[in-house]
Chain A
């Protein structure tokens, strides 16, 4: 059984809530539970009662450019799910919360800071035999007013990574060891989505995302365990600027969340261009 969140020593424990907490707040009008998955069938097959579905491709991504929705798009999304600036959004999803953390991260770009992640995600909820519903809830539409999107504190672009590299800044590669080594161009059991070169960004430390969670229930490890992993074993300093990356930025959103909210890294950004950008760029440094 996982240690209670408040006893794990996290820097910002309020960013993480337990399945118990979510079940106790199912009827709380100030809370909107959001399911974000890779598998598009899962929400329809049964979800946390009252939760809404936010799909990373159709709801969070710009449908033309490789970018996220604009302020207008976010206002439309939040108004559709009946959220206001005061609504606390709680994300959960499949794949140990990859997409939940990714959605959480996109929401930070768009300024909705009242956000949490449900520890253990969808699989923990299911394994605990908590209620699932196929009823799609309908909430009264709101007129959500967003602030301008501000990527800078949370998102790194390729030029930021270049500048970071020149400053010998901290980089964390959260992909599998095979992807890091360049012997594999994609995740195990995933199709090759096209990087022309294999390897990693020079100086990046290899810390596969899954090492931050307990394999048995998908919950995050304690702060002490995470400190050993990131700070002691891999010599990453919470006080130094840090950039995390993976293949498209979803696994690294998970690590970004752990570093920022659980360990209190002061300046950590997610490079969502990740290897599908870096591994295709001309004449950028790569190590194997």
Chain B
């Protein structure tokens, strides 16, 4: 797992439930919508993250130096968890080589969200990780 993401997962593991909730909300508050230079609404369905009830989209831009920059959109106003995970993925993975981003696995979702994961949300969040991994694999080929 990329080092910054591993550090963040380790930090989440140390938190009690209240602090974890606060930290997730803090990340959700920092969410930045995909800029118009990358995509405009209505977004192409090819970027829609499957199974995500928050109607989330993901993009990856390959930079000249081979690193990736991730972008997301979350259309459901109740998509707090999707916004939190999108911000976490952007902050810990953007700027890394695509091949390194492609090593992420969906099990980080359970480690980060713990008791804040709900029945319907877990599948969508893991699907977001899978979507990023797929974009990274495509960019690294």
Residues of A within 8 A of B (CB): 38-42, 44-45, 94-95, 122-123, 126-127, 187, 189-191, 193
Cα A193 to Cα B120 with chains together (Å):
11
Q: Say yes or no: is B47 at the interface (Cβ < 8 Å to chain A).
A: no
Cα A94 to Cα B77 with chains together (Å):
11
Partner of B77, one of A39, A95, A126: A126
Closest CB in chain A relative to B11 CB, distance in Å: 18
Which residue on chain A has the smallest CB distance to residue B127? A189
Partner of A39, one of B22, B25, B78, B123: B78
Q: Are B80 and A189 in contact (CB under 8 A)?
A: no
Closest CB in chain A relative to B24 CB, distance in Å: 6
Residues of B within 8 A of A (CB): 21-22, 24-25, 28, 51, 53, 76-78, 80-81, 84, 115-116, 118-124
Q: A40-B115, A41-B116, A45-B28 are in contact. Are A191 and B122 (CB under 8 A)?
A: yes
Q: A189-B51, A189-B53 are in contact. Are A41 and B120 (CB under 8 A)?
A: no
Q: A44-B21, A187-B120, A193-B119 are in contact. Are A39 and B51 (CB under 8 A)?
A: no
> Inside 8 A of B51's CB, which chain A residues have their CB?
189
Q: Are B119 and A94 in contact (CB under 8 A)?
A: no
Q: A40-B115, A41-B25 are in contact. Are A122 and B78 (CB under 8 A)?
A: yes
Q: Are A94 and B78 in contact (CB under 8 A)?
A: yes
Which residue on chain B has the smallest CB distance to residue A122? B78
Partner of B25, one of A44, A94, A189: A44
Q: Are A41 and B123 in contact (CB under 8 A)?
A: no
Closest CB in chain B relative to A47 CB, distance in Å: 11
Q: A38-B118, A40-B21, A126-B77 are in contact. List 20 more A-B contacts (CB 8 A).
A: A38-B121, A39-B81, A39-B118, A39-B120, A40-B115, A40-B116, A41-B80, A41-B81, A41-B84, A45-B25, A94-B78, A95-B120, A123-B76, A123-B77, A123-B78, A126-B78, A189-B124, A190-B119, A190-B123, A193-B119
Cα A39 to Cα B28 with chains together (Å):
14
> Inside 8 A of B122's CB, which chain A residues have their CB?
191
Partner of A41, one of B21, B76, B119, B124: B21
Which residue on chain B has the smallest CB distance to residue A188? B51
Cα A178 to Cα B116 with chains together (Å):
28
> Inside 8 A of A38's CB, which chain B residues have their CB?
118-121
23 pairs across A/B with beta carbons < 8 Å? A38-B120, A39-B78, A39-B80, A39-B81, A40-B116, A41-B24, A41-B25, A41-B28, A41-B81, A41-B116, A42-B80, A45-B25, A45-B28, A123-B77, A126-B78, A187-B120, A189-B51, A189-B53, A189-B123, A189-B124, A190-B123, A191-B119, A191-B123
